[in-house]
Amino acid sequence: MRTPAKYEDRVFKPLEDVRLADGTRVEVYVPTEAPRERPKSIRDTAIFGMWADRDDITESLVRRM
């Protein structure tokens, strides 16, 4: 069985109905979060080439899109 849960007040609380008898021992697996990568520059993307010769489209403009 696999069910989503929320950790709150030092207790894992299922977000869905779980049919287990009280006192049943369970094993909890908490996946580690991958470190967030620094956002790439628009120059590192495949679409940059179509704007390479345009002076009116800057990287800061593209990031706002």
What whole-number percentage of the chain has pLDDT above 90? Answer: 38
pLDDT at position 51 is 63
- pTM strictly above 0.95: no
pLDDT at position 20 is 92
Q: Which residues of the chain have pLDDT under 70?
A: 39, 42, 46-49, 51-52, 57-65
Give whole-number Cα distances, 3 to 6, 12, 29, in Å: 10, 11, 11
Q: Can you tell me the distance from the alpha carbon of 31 to that of 4, in angstroms, rounded to the nearest whole number?
A: 12
Phi first, then psi: what are they for 5, rounded to 5°?
-145, 160
